[in-house]
Structure 1
Amino acid sequence: MTTFISEYLVRVNGHDIFVAEKGSGPVIVMLHGGGPGASGLSNYSRNIDALAEHFRVVVPDMPGYGRSSKHVDHSDPFGYLADTMRGLMDELGLLSAHLVGNSYGGAAALRLALDTPQRVGKLVLMGPGGIGTTRGLPTPGLKSLLSYYGGDGPSREKLAAFIRTYLVYDGAAVPDDLIELRYQASLDPDVVASPPLRRPSGLRTLWRMDLTRDKRVTALPNPTLVLWGRDDKVNRPAGGPLLQRLMPNAELVMTSHTGHWMQWERAELFNRLVADFLSPESDLAIA
């Protein structure tokens, strides 16, 4: 079980952001995904201890999730998340940090790097959102995620179906207590009233959320490791090769029998790849 040096709230732009951290050394800020009931600690439960052996691991709850304030600007969600995480870095006195982002958090990490590359060391993007999202209809997994609070509202059955059918490759491997933990977190009245992740409203917001249409991505200087499960049903695996083609300093690792939650399903491999890539002795190559 993970134990932390500290857990605390940080006031950022008038809103509370919950943070847990462990370890010492170069700083990694780990940004979680946007599924119902997500939080930093639950998303990275199999990774924090291993990475904290080499790094200072900072794990916030993103705005709208966990123990953080529930406000999100839906006109430019990735920009808002990036601004908030940069504000968190300011409050923590971090001039720069490595960023690890999964899905929704991957989009936030990439947007933060695009806006202020000097604040980011290396990037690890795991099945990130915002990649080619205007180039096709939403995936079945994304449709399931976005419909969770619709219809009859949230239910344990809907959440279990999303996680076991779309989030991971082997749904039988997901324990019931993980489903229950996420389900209870998803029932926060503020979240039910205003879900943090929703369908884009308007063409302008939709285009803002496709980060591959941002011309800055082709000149981003930060060394980047892109990780993608070949069986991802939430964000299309084709996004991995797309990022590798667009980004000048990107390496790509794709794994078989892996869904959208690589850091959980392939934790040992994920931890090794991330630790090796972010090591001060490492160059861009990870082989």
Structure 2
Amino acid sequence: MRFLIPFSFIAASVALLGDEAGIRLESIEYPFEEEVFEFESQGQTLEMVYMDVSPAESDPKGTVLLLHGKNFSGAYFEDTADALVDAGFRVVIPDQIGFGKSSKPEHYQFTFEQLAHNTRELLESVGVEEVQVLGHSMGGMVATRFSLMFPDQVESLTLLNPIGLEDWAAQGVPYITIDQRYEGELAKTAEKIRAYQLESYYDGNWKEEYDPWVELLATFIESPEYPRMAWDQALTGDMVFTQPVVYEFGDLSMPTLLIIGQRDRTALGKNLVSDEARATLGNYPELGKKTAAAIPDSYLVELEGIGHLPHIEAFDRFIDPYLSFLQGVSEGDSSDQIGEAVSAAVAAEE
């Protein structure tokens, strides 16, 4: 018999799932109502699960699209979505194909263009023509590609500790084959996931509220179908490494906000290079400035002492400048007005 566990209790529930565990998170209930967009892609029928939340008592000021990272799903945007809805925005939060509750195809050509196209079709299906886009981590690469492909639909772009601010291959990181990535995915355990997040995301300081993001990934591993998902993860890892967006930041034409946790040092393959080379990779303080200089109409928020997940680790410091930016774009404020509002929000939190 299938049973549902509220999302807030994921951390306590994984050990109880047993045979109920699945690579579509069938036994996990998301924080908002789950909806399904069914579409045809690459000769097969796929399902993209998403959440679509709107203010209850007024017409929305606009729509915000939230795009998750590789080690996550849309569910980790719960607090962000609540704040956005309270501020009067409609929020659409998809799980990309291969992630979260969405389909895990056995055969799929993963490209950022394909994921962006899938996302646009989803938005069209729910009647959304224009969006303010936020992408976190890998979602930042998806968001950048989406914005480059469909600039007339993107009112603003926010990159929240995105990966892809540098070309790792050009920095000397060796190529890892898809088969090698697959073996690495199969070898994952809950303990390894926790250790990685502890070191890479939270600087050795673990808090109880981080537990769900380990347990969610551990749920996938419990499934007898996990090898299929592991293959998708290997393919998306290859996509991230071989399809850089860094060379096209100058082509972005919409207002763009960069929110960069300064402690972040995320970089694919840094474990494969020398100590000397590793020290040059994932330098987010430097990468944030370089990226802001490359994007024509951009604003940079630097969050000292914060790592790869500002919206989890330091929500208040993230949300205030983000809302100020969205409100300014929504109200048609000038570039100077938006910059001043964002700066004031940052100063208020310091």
Q: Return the match for 1:91 from 125, 129, 139.
A: 125
Q: Which residue of 1 aligns with 2:5?
A: none
Given the superposition, is the C-alpha separation of residues 101 and 265 from structure 1 closer, same or farther in structure 2, using an over 3 Å criterion? Answer: same
- Choose 167-176 or 272-281, whichever is displaced more: 167-176
In 2, Cα distance between equivalents of 1:230 and 1:72: 38
| 1:230 maps to 2:257 | no
In 1, Cα distance between equivalents of 2:182 and 2:79: 25
- Matched residue SS, 1:16: strand
- Choose 266-275 or 128-137, whichever is displaced more: 128-137
In 2, Cα distance between equivalents of 1:283 and 1:180: 44
Does the CA-based 8 Å contact 1:169-1:259 persist in structure 2?
yes
Q: Return the match for 1:260 from 290, 305, 308.
A: 308
Q: Which has the higher helix share?
A: 2
Larger RCO of the pair (alpha carbons < 8 Å, separation 6+): 1
Q: Which residue of 1 aligns with 2:275?
A: none
| 1:166 maps to 2:204 | no
- Matched residue SS, 1:273: helix
Q: Which residue of 2 aligns with 1:179?
A: 214
What 5-or-longer segments of structure 2 have no aligned partner? 1-7, 9-29, 174-179, 268-281, 344-350
How far apart are 1:99 and its partner, in Å? 0.5
Query: Which residues of 2 match residues 112-151 of structure 1 at below 5 A?
Result: 112-133=146-167, 134-137=169-172, 150=184
Q: Provide Cα deviations, 1:1-59, integer angstroms capped at 9, x if missing partner.
A: 7853x321012333211111222311001001001xx2101x21332211111211111
Which of 1 and 2 has greater Rg? 2
In 1, Cα distance between equivalents of 2:113 and 2:205: 33
Q: Return the match for 1:12 from 19, 39, 57.
A: 39
Q: Provide Cα deviations, 1:155-199, integer angstroms capped at 9, x if missing partner.
A: 011100111110223532254444223311354523124325554
What 5-or-longer segments of structure 1 have no aligned partner? 139-145
Given the superposition, is the C-alpha separation of residues 112 and 187 from structure 1 closer, same or farther in structure 2, using an over 3 Å criterion? Answer: farther
Q: Which residue of 2 aligns with 1:80?
A: 114
How far apart are 1:111 and its partner, in Å? 0.4
What TM-score do you get using the length of structure 2 for normalisation?
A: 0.70
Q: CA RMSD in A?
A: 2.7
Does the CA-based 8 Å contact 1:224-1:250 persist in structure 2?
yes
| Residue identity in the other structure for 1:19 | Y
Given the superposition, is the C-alpha separation of residues 70 and 101 from structure 1 closer, same or farther in structure 2, using an over 3 Å criterion? Answer: same
| Residue identity in the other structure for 1:48 | A
Given the superposition, is the C-alpha separation of residues 161 and 80 from structure 1 closer, same or farther in structure 2, using an over 3 Å criterion? Answer: same
- Choose 89-98 or 171-180, whichever is displaced more: 171-180
Q: Which residue of 1 aligns with 2:67?
A: 31
Given the superposition, is the C-alpha separation of residues 206 and 184 from structure 1 closer, same or farther in structure 2, using an over 3 Å criterion? Answer: closer
Given the superposition, is the C-alpha separation of residues 187 and 136 from structure 1 closer, same or farther in structure 2, using an over 3 Å criterion? Answer: farther
How many residue pairs end up in the alignment?
Answer: 271
Given the superposition, is the C-alpha separation of residues 167 and 77 from structure 1 closer, same or farther in structure 2, using an over 3 Å criterion? Answer: farther
> Percent identity at matched positions?
24
In 2, Cα distance between equivalents of 1:219 and 1:125: 15
Does the CA-based 8 Å contact 2:31-2:78 persist in structure 1?
no
| Residue identity in the other structure for 1:51 | L
How far apart are 1:89 and its partner, in Å? 1.2
Does the CA-based 8 Å contact 1:154-1:187 persist in structure 2?
no
| Residue identity in the other structure for 2:171 | G
In 1, Cα distance between equivalents of 2:263 and 2:38: 38
Does the CA-based 8 Å contact 1:166-1:232 persist in structure 2?
yes
How far apart are 1:95 and its partner, in Å? 1.2
